[in-house]
Structure 1
Amino acid sequence: MTQQPQTRVIPLTCSGHTRPVVDLQFSTMTTDKKYYLISACKDGNPMLRDGQTGDWIGTFLGHKGAVWSARLSKEAHRAVTGSADFTAKVWDTFTGQEMHSFAHQHIVRAVNFSPDGTKIVTGGQEKKLRIFDLYRPDALPMEADDHSGTIKTVLWHPTQNIIMSGGEDGIIRVRDLRVMREIAALPAGGPVSSMTLSNNGNLVCWTADNKACFCGLTPSEDNIMMHTMPRSVSSIALHTSGDKFVVGSDSDPWVRIYDALSAKELEVHKGHHGSIHAVSYSPDGEVYATGSEDGTIRLWQSDPSKSYGLWQKIRDSE
């Protein structure tokens, strides 16, 4: 009996950065049925790309230090970045121009937009959350300082005025912004390295030490699912189906896919030449991106047997 050949897994390599890529985010699907990818890098030059092809669109120039975090607004018309130059900057993604620069007293490690794009939240080595109103950029920000370690990731609840934050103190802190009060403190399983929403907005996913964790949007210890992984994990993204997730690790260069319920390893892929700091799934689930110590971004097909975008052209040319 003739054995069927396995479908080759061919990542697309996106070059341009000159130092480690430390953060990635796909945008949501925009009204014109497109999506975009933003990357943060220690070279200080965050980049915007076409999410389906990886083609470079532009570089946001203005930071004077490593950029640790980068996020896009809902329609991808704005970007926010946090940097070692003690600033968070907001950019116009159509022109590439800096719109606002918000000064801090130390390195900004985490940034994000409110769901309506009118505010940003920042966190970092000051151990403080700050919320800036983009309609009143000169006003003093709201602040909170419940964390006892560097804040490395911040999330805005998709429908409620609630912020979740995590970092070196190993606690996911949940804050009601209407009263600026902490309403929950969840054990994260270790120092938190990343946190993201699932593409359907129903789950919060985070990594802590060697834990891959999932929690419902009503945060409580009772609805946390925590997988202990065989190695440390630096970043996580859940597939649109909810059936599987991808993780990166600071300890090796392999991309690994796991079953969401059992944490059984489903796929292992080699492509990078350095540890993987950031992962993200596209909003349609067709592609996931990985960012590495080697200074590259790689795009991978979720289902390599499907005809999709540039991968089809690669196969046709072989």
Structure 2
Amino acid sequence: MDLRTEAPRVVPLTCHGHSRPVVHLHFSPMLGEDEYYLISACKDNNPMLRDGITGDWIGTFLGHKGAVWQARLSNDAALAVTASADFSAKIWDTFSGECLQTLQHNHIVRSTTFSPSQTHVATGGAEKKLRIFDLSRPDTPLEVGPQVHGGTIKSIVWSDPNTIVSASDDKKLRWWDVRSRELTYDFGVNELIGSCELSPEGNLISATAGKSVYFFESASRRLIKSISTPYEVSSVALHQATRRFITGGSSDTWVRVYNFDTEQELEVYKGHHGSIWSVAFSPDGKLYATGSEDGTIKLWKYTDQPYGLWK
């Protein structure tokens, strides 16, 4: 029996402004009843801040001289951190757009994230090193290790005050104790890792590698489920309340919706004209965003009720 539903007509909002592939998206938490923000990382060197509900452009952070591979907002959305091919990570004031700090590295920075307290950031990249910067004393970062990974660190998740998860081209996800800076858990996959993200609820880590998606309980590190799909998956986001997950693919232009329990593909949406590198649910779960090789961001409604610009 085919449990797939015929996909209802979903008209996404298209956010223009970038001139190169959009490689990473990150939503802030909810800041008010109807207030949250979205930041995008792009190969055009210029990360952008948007209203999360409408996609309206708020500002562009100017200063990087290379592709920006990852961008994240702090929990209060007052700060942003970006990781770039210009061998730096930058801390930004999201109200003024001013660059507050430049964290210099010796090679391409591919990944970065804030600590839950917003007082520190972690960075990783082509140096294969995981660094922790105290934003009050950024000139003396701590190095986790000694040997963190055998390949480029593509994503970092600071899952709780004392735990950092790093995902690397060496096909490893590794959990680190921030206090001792020592390895506490290691998980290997069979293909190159595409993405690794913390859920908006903060209780789940999702990762992709090849045609597979992985879901971990963040507190216990337990693998809840791994699912194989017929397609190369570059990013995944799980909607926990409806038990469905969204994937973006590196080998096609389709947004796919799956049932988490049955693992069956339910819906397929066309909208982009290039590979989809990043997928993320909004903090209220009422929309999700996709970022593509085609240089656009699309917002897709994920509620039956009127929402935002979908009236």
> Normalising TM by the smaller chain, what interval?
over 0.9
More divergent stretch after superposition (45-54 vs 167-176): 167-176
More divergent stretch after superposition (137-146 vs 68-77): 137-146
Q: Specify whether residues 209 and 219 from structure 1 end up closer, same or farther in structure 2 by C-alpha distance, changes over 3 A only.
A: farther
**Structure 1 equivalent of residue 297 of structure 2:** 297
How many corresponding residue pairs?
Answer: 305
Q: Distance in 2 between matches of 1:214 and 1:188?
A: 13
The amino acid of 2:306's aligned partner reads: S
**Structure 1 equivalent of residue 35 of structure 2:** 34
- How far off is 1:176 after superposition? 0.4
**Structure 2 equivalent of residue 225 of structure 1:** 225
- % of aligned pairs identical? 53
**Residues 230-268 of structure 1: per-residue CA shift (max 9 Å, x gap):** 111001111141601111111000001111122211111
Matches within 5 A, 1:28-177: 28-31=29-32, 33-144=34-145, 145-158=147-160, 160-177=161-178
Q: Distance in 2 between matches of 1:31 and 1:234?
A: 31
Matches within 5 A, 1:180-199: 180-199=181-200
- How far off is 1:203 after superposition? 1.1
1:11 touches 1:299 (CA, 8 Å); kept in 2? yes
Q: Distance in 1 between matches of 2:185 and 2:219?
A: 10
**Structure 2 equivalent of residue 274 of structure 1:** 274
Q: Distance in 1 between matches of 2:176 and 2:52?
A: 32
- How far off is 1:142 after superposition? 2.9
2:214 touches 2:223 (CA, 8 Å); kept in 1? no
**Structure 2 equivalent of residue 315 of structure 1:** none
Q: Distance in 1 between matches of 2:88 and 2:242?
A: 35
Q: SS at the partner of 2:23? A: strand
Runs of 5+ unmatched residues, structure 1: 313-318
**Structure 2 equivalent of residue 12 of structure 1:** 13
**Structure 1 equivalent of residue 305 of structure 2:** 306
2:114 touches 2:120 (CA, 8 Å); kept in 1? yes
Runs of 5+ unmatched residues, structure 2: 1-5
Q: Specify whether residues 242 and 142 from structure 1 end up closer, same or farther in structure 2 by C-alpha distance, changes over 3 A only.
A: farther
As a proportion of its length, which structure holds more strand? Answer: 2
The amino acid of 2:42's aligned partner reads: C
- How far off is 1:33 after superposition? 4.2
CA RMSD across the alignment: 1.5
Q: SS at the partner of 2:310? A: helix
Q: SS at the partner of 1:140? A: strand
Give the ranges of 4+ consecutive aligned residues of structure 1 lying more than 6 Å apart after TM superposition.
none
2:152 touches 2:169 (CA, 8 Å); kept in 1? yes
Q: Specify whether residues 155 and 242 from structure 1 end up closer, same or farther in structure 2 by C-alpha distance, changes over 3 A only.
A: farther
2:153 touches 2:166 (CA, 8 Å); kept in 1? yes
- How far off is 1:209 after superposition? 1.0
1:31 touches 1:75 (CA, 8 Å); kept in 2? no
Calculate the TM-score normalised by the size of structure 2: 0.94
**Structure 1 equivalent of residue 253 of structure 2:** 253
- How far off is 1:202 after superposition? 1.3
**Residues 195-218 of structure 1: per-residue CA shift (max 9 Å, x gap):** 111221111110011111001124
